[in-house]
Amino acid sequence: MLTCEEAASPLVQTKFGCILFRFVKFIFCSLCAQIGNLQNGLRFFILLVMVETREIKVRTEGNCDIVDITGHVSEAILDCGIGQGTVTVFNVGSTAGITTTEYEPGLVNYDIEALFERIAPQAGRYEHEETWHDDNGHSHVRASLLGPSLSVPIVDGKMTLGTWQQIILVDFDTRSRTRTVICQIIGE
């Protein structure tokens, strides 16, 4: 597998580079098909895949703050020009998580927080807090349950999300901060 970085270094990071990369891939695959036909039906499969990485900064309030990041992820996909592939959305840090839900007031202002309060209560006793003398043991437990990442297929340049399905970042920590979310888009 040949990635953008291996194929064309910084040139592919531009829109012109992406178009050029696709053209070269088309020509190269066409030649391989011709060679394959000339060699008694032997087939050569060459996979040239683009890998684009984008960083999204998200301001959060902590304490189960839920932020819809669907638009940011869609923009990253559109910006890199990948039509078919997968996007992996990853939260950097151990006190926030990423998932999908219907971003509506009942869920984001009450239900999700109430669920996590039942599973990992803020006022519970956590060894993490005894070890580090802080107040966010529940934050780590909640983030561990939710998970730091999500993968979504890309078809025709768009994520295959349902009508009422948005990508959300849930910050469980006990303070406001700026979160870093990495979008790694793989495809062609």
* Domain total in the chain: 2
Residues 43 and 95 in one domain: no
Residues 67 and 123 in one domain: yes
Of the candidate ranges 22-26, 111-115, 169-173, the one whose mean pLDDT is the lowest: 22-26
Give the residue, 95 or 18, on which the prediction is more confident.
95
Residues 158 and 82 in one domain: yes
Q: Return d(Cα 183, Cα 92) in angstroms, integer.
A: 11
Q: What is the pLDDT of residue 103?
A: 98
Residues 97 and 59 in one domain: yes
The DSSP bridge partners found for residue 185 are 52, 87
The token pair at 40 is 């008694």
pLDDT tens per residue across span 51-70: 999 999 999 999 999 999 99
**Does the pLDDT of residue 21 top 60, yes or no?**
yes
Q: What is the pLDDT of residue 18?
A: 62
Q: What residue numbers bound the domain in which 76 lies? A: 51-187
Q: Return d(Cα 116, Cα 95) in angstroms, integer.
A: 13
The answer for residues whose C-beta is within 8 angstroms of residue 32's C-beta and 6 or more apart is 44, 45, 46
Q: Residue 68 sits in a domain of what CATH number?
A: 2.60.120.460
Give me the sign of the Cα torsion angle 103, 106, 108, 109. Answer: positive
Confidence of residue 32 (pLDDT cuts 50, 70, 90): low
Percent of the chain at pLDDT exceeding 70: 74
Residues 38 and 22 in one domain: yes
Confidence of residue 25 (pLDDT cuts 50, 70, 90): low
Residues 60 and 77 in one domain: yes
Residues 6 and 92 in one domain: no
Give the residue, 28 or 113, on which the prediction is more confident.
113
Q: Which of 184, 187, 181 is nearest to 68 (CA)?
A: 181
Q: Return d(Cα 56, Cα 39) in angstroms, integer.
A: 48
Q: What is the pLDDT of residue 5?
A: 43
Q: What is the pLDDT of residue 54?
A: 96
Q: Return d(Cα 117, Cα 25) in angstroms, integer.
A: 51
Residues 88 and 21 in one domain: no
Residues 175 and 117 in one domain: yes
Residues 96 and 114 in one domain: yes
Q: What is the pLDDT of residue 43?
A: 41
Q: Which of 141, 140, 169, 176 is nearest to 63 (CA)?
A: 176
**Does the pLDDT of residue 157 top 90, yes or no?**
yes
Mean pLDDT, range 139-148, rounded to an integer: 98
Q: What is the pLDDT of residue 49?
A: 75
The token pair at 116 is 């996590």
Residues 89 and 143 in one domain: yes
| Mean pLDDT taken over the chain | 86
Residues 75 and 138 in one domain: yes
* CA 87 to chain CA centroid, nearest Å: 5
On whether the CB atoms of residues 66 and 18 are closer than 8 A, the answer is no
Of the candidate ranges 4-8, 13-17, 129-133, the one whose mean pLDDT is the lowest: 4-8
Mean pLDDT, range 9-26, rounded to an integer: 60
